[in-house]
A and B are shown apart, each in its own frame.
Chain A
Amino acid sequence: MKNDKLSYYLQKFSILIVLAAMFLVCSCLSPYFLKTNNLMNIARQLCVGILIAYGEMILIVSGFLDLSVGSVLALSGVLAVSAYKATGSMALALLAALAVGVACNLFNALFVGNFGVPAFIATLGMQQVARGIALYYTGGANILQLGKFVNIGQGMVGILPLPVLILIGVTVVIWYMFNHTSYGRNLYAIGGNRKAAEASGINSIRSIYISYAINGLLAGLAGVIFMARNNAGLPNGAIGYEMTGLTAVIVGGTSFTGGVGTVMGTVCGAFIIGFLENIMNLLGVNSYVQSVIQGLIIVLAVAFDIRSKSKKSSKVIMAADDNAGKK
């Protein structure tokens, strides 16, 4: 029994152990890694990616996903920037971004939830649509000179960058949602077995709408921070960011088949990727090679996940035999 507990905790916190090991290795490899400046930089860089990852995690846990988030982020970002330039109001700009993010995702939810289009296809379509609108609206040109808009991406509150502070706030909300609301439970149940969840009185369509709406809010917020950090409205920005988000989620132990995943895992997954990227930069690894390594990591993370699961399920059979034997 004691061994069981140990392996239970080892499994539960294995991702933290990987992160800690990564941290140790990185700090040995480069003396610059541990500098406050560098660590702050990593955190700042990860903000947008982690916001996206939360949206993806909500969707993947419940058995869906979003391939449109990079485009939606760009669309809501450029619209926020132009709203700000027109009115000078940060609040309006933020509101515009959130509204656009949610609107795009309600379309996703409509197709996935009501029409039963696979999420992969529905959001692949939205990826094109949102990017198209962003490019059409701006005529393909970047919007420059954002003035005080940049504060939301570059400002500091005490020693903490503002985006990091925002991220911490969002993390608490998402964590609470997963662990202390019935909506969180619904997500796990729907992802684990949608028919069983529905037969237990859970409204899966409503849950799909809520999930995509939250994903939209996160995309809008990420869009504002992204444009502010770049000091420009980039209609061509954030291409492929859905993959950045997905990588963090998957490396963080969320099962691609749904029903399993934790917020802590996703944060750790994002930092593992962030550390890796950072140390490769510090060591001067060729950026093309970096891309190869990142691709391999996604595949390996999933392979590892599947292997450990199939091991578990063979254990399961034995446990069942064992139980029967005790009767």
Chain B
Amino acid sequence: MNRGIAMEEIKLRVSGIEKSFPGVKALSNINFAVRKGTVHALCGENGAGKSTLMKVLTGLYKADKGQIFIDEKPVEIKNPIQAREYGISMIAQELNYVSELSIEENLFMGRLPLGKFGNVDWKTVRREAKKFLEEEHLDYDPAQKLKTLTVSDIQMLEIIKAVTNNAQVVLMDEPTSSISQAEVKILFHKIEELKAKGVSIIYISHKMEEVFQIADDITVIRDGEVISTDRAEDLDIQTVIARMVGRTMDNVYPKEQVALGEKNFEVENFNEKGIFGDISFYARKSEIVGFAGLVGAGRTEVMRAIYGLDHKDSGTVRIDGKEVRISSPSDAIKKKLIMLSEDRKEYGIVPVRSVMENASLASLKRYFYGGRSHKGKERREVQEIFGKMNVKTPSLETLISSLSGGNAQKVLLARWMLCEPEIMILDEPTRGIDVGAKFEIYKLMTDIVKEGKTIVMVSSELPELIGMCDRIYVMCQGRITGCLERKDFSQEAIMMLATGLSKTHKKEDA
């Protein structure tokens, strides 16, 4: 399928790469070529081998077999420093920076220019850093600590850092996972600039819309093997997804229209000075209510305050028409209101404990009462819910940290299902998980609302909100700027409200 490619200048060629770990073949017979000055997207489910391949390219892993060519010359990349010397640079999914150090120190980390006596030449550092910041139109002082920057600016700095390293090939692993739509635009603009300079980019993302927006070539990887490489214009999203999962997916969003019940969840006048204000919304039984907005619009903050995790200055919550006082998550859980946090690592999993303990964590009262434990019951119920949710785990004793992102997320959802909630706040329920697991979580959400329960979903992926929700509230700068009914859903309408350009839907009828 590599038609036409031989005609052009190839920057990086990967030929016959194989990599095994004891008992597992992670990569086999990987072949693809990246053209100079293009964006080459790598698509595949989590665990397909993309990360392993990246690690081979940056010298973190040594391939068992195969050859890497740069400018058609065979090279051997033994470690990240060598990779850098060959002009290969990586922008990691989780950014590598030291938040307590300044911008300039981060920019020059590991390659600070030295003066005569082996001392650091801070003058050069300052001058160069200033120059880069100005070139990139980033209005920051080089001495500013990195933790005061936004995620997207830090990412931009990472890219600048890579380019100042004379990178010829830049690897980007999920670069848009934690930045807003507007910032994505800036990133894409930057990528175009790099392309114009002849830099090649290997782009990994789960977000198909983005891939098709930016990629010139698309290589699909499944189970450690290259399935295909094509020009982006010869492909469509359905085809790529079908190749990734190895089957056709006729419907990405298994939304079913369910008759909506009565209002059972009302939030009124939530305020927290400087974070959000005047937040009022409601949800009905069997309804999936979405919350859209740019990163930093305050959606997560509102939800955390409702759930009792963060402080609020004022505001009331009514469940089934009765006002409830929620000052901690345990209050909320007692009222059958739960929240799945957006940050799985920080607020979700307890990595050193088993999947079973992780699943039962929020409902320990069911398994420890009367002065003793009821572990048989715990096992039985966890097993049952895992079965229902199709959680793939070698055993109930397996540590949760050894599961893939999608399976870990399902364990966390199981944790909340075991609480038998009536109202579920799901904050970015599908972030960072593969297409197959996403589908299963959507399916589960559909099943949940069929039982008359209520879901409030916060998401930064508009297609997902549009695909799954009955109504969408849009937030901008700490305020609700509008509410859209399903018939009025469109990416444009949501973006107008999210950027504060339109306020036509300000007051929804009750």
Interface residues of A, Cβ cutoff 8 Å to B: 4, 8, 179-182, 185-186, 188-189, 192-193, 195-203, 255, 258-260, 313, 315-327
Q: Which of B21-29, B293-301, B495-503 contacts A (4 or more CB under 8 A)?
A: B21-29
Chain B positions within 8 Å of A186 at CB level:
364
Among B47, B333, B399, which residue has the most Cβ atoms of chain A within 10 A?
Answer: B47
Report how far A323 CA is from B332 CA in the complex, Å.
35
With contacts A188-B353, A259-B350 taken as known, whether A200 is within 8 angstroms of B47 at the C-beta atoms is no
Query: Cβ of A181: which chain B residues have Cβ within 8 Å of it?
Result: 368, 373
**CB–CB A189/B223 < 8 A:** no
Interface contact B361-A197, CB-CB below 8 Å: yes
Is the CB–CB distance between A323 and B330 below 8 Å?
no
| Most chain B CB within a 10 A radius of its CB, from A200, A255, A318, A326 | A200
Interface of chain A: mostly helix, strand, loop or mixed: helix
Specify which chain B residues have a CB less than 8 angstroms from the CB of A200 in the assembled complex.
329, 333, 361-362, 415
The answer to whether residues A179 and B373 also contact, given A196-B346, A325-B223 and a CB cut-off of 8 A, is yes
B368 adjacent to A180 (CB under 8 Å):
yes
Interface check B348, CB cutoff 8 A:
yes
Q: For the A-B complex with A259-B352, A327-B245 known, give 13 more contacts whose Cβ atoms are closer than 8 Å.
A: A179-B373, A182-B367, A193-B346, A193-B349, A197-B350, A199-B329, A199-B341, A200-B333, A315-B402, A321-B21, A324-B45, A326-B392, A327-B392
Cα separation A110 to B278 with both chains bound (whole Å): 36
Q: Mark interface residues in B160-178 (1 if CB within 8 Å of A CB, else 0).
A: 0000000000000000000
B326 CB → nearest A CB, Å: 11
Say whether A185 contacts B361, CB under 8 Å. yes
Interface size class, chain B? 35 or more
In the bound assembly, the distance between CA atoms of A202 and B372 in angstroms comes to 19
Closest to B304 in A: A199
A200 to B363, CA, bound (A): 8
State whether A185 touches B368 (Cβ < 8 A): yes
Do A202 and B330 have beta carbons less than 8 Å apart?
yes
4 A-B pairs closest in CB distance: A324-B47, A192-B350, A201-B330, A182-B368
Cβ–Cβ contact B328 & A201, under 8 A: yes
Kindly list chain A residues whose C-beta atoms are within 8 Å of the C-beta of B24. Answer: 318, 321-322, 325
B20 closest partner in A (C-beta): A318
Task: Give chain B residues whose Cβ lies under 8 Å from the Cβ of A317.
Answer: 21
Interface centre among A255, A260, A327, by most chain B C-beta atoms within 10 angstroms, is A327
Q: Residue on A with the closest CB to B362?
A: A200
**Chain B residues near A195 (CB-CB < 8 A):** 346-347
Whether the Cβ atoms of B333 and A201 lie closer than 8 Å is yes
Q: Does B79 contact A (CB under 8 A)?
A: no
Residues of A within 8 A of B339 (CB): 199
Contact A193 B364 (CB under 8 A): no
Residues of A within 8 A of B351 (CB): 192-193, 259
Establish whether residues A199 and B309, one from each chain, have CB atoms under 8 Å apart when the complex forms: yes
The answer to whether B365 and A316 have CB atoms under 8 Å apart is no
Assess whether B394 is interfacial by the CB under 8 Å rule. Answer: yes
Chain A residues lying within 8 Å of B223, measured Cβ to Cβ, are 324-325
Question: Is there contact, CB below 8 Å, between B361 and A323?
Answer: no
CA–CA, A255 to B352, complex, Å?
10
Given known contacts A185-B364, A326-B392, A320 and B404 CB-to-CB distance under 8 angstroms: yes
11 contacts between A and B (CB under 8 A): A185-B360, A185-B361, A185-B364, A186-B364, A188-B352, A189-B350, A192-B350, A201-B333, A320-B403, A323-B392, A325-B223
Most buried by A among B360, B397, B402: B402
Query: Is the pair A320, B47 in contact by a Cβ cutoff of 8 Å?
Result: yes
A180 to B364, CA, bound (A): 11
- CB pair A196–B348 under 8 Å, yes or no, is yes
**Complex Cα distance A325/B52, Å?**
13
B383 CB within 8 Å of chain A: no
Q: Which residue on A lies nearest to B224, using beta carbons?
A: A325
Q: Does B407 contact A (CB under 8 A)?
A: yes
Closest-by-CB residue of B relative to A316 is B402
Q: Which residues of B contact A321 (CB under 8 A)?
A: 21, 24, 26, 47, 49, 52, 224
In the complex, A199 Cα to B21 Cα: how many Å?
36
Question: Bound state CA distance, A221 and B44, in angstroms?
Answer: 60
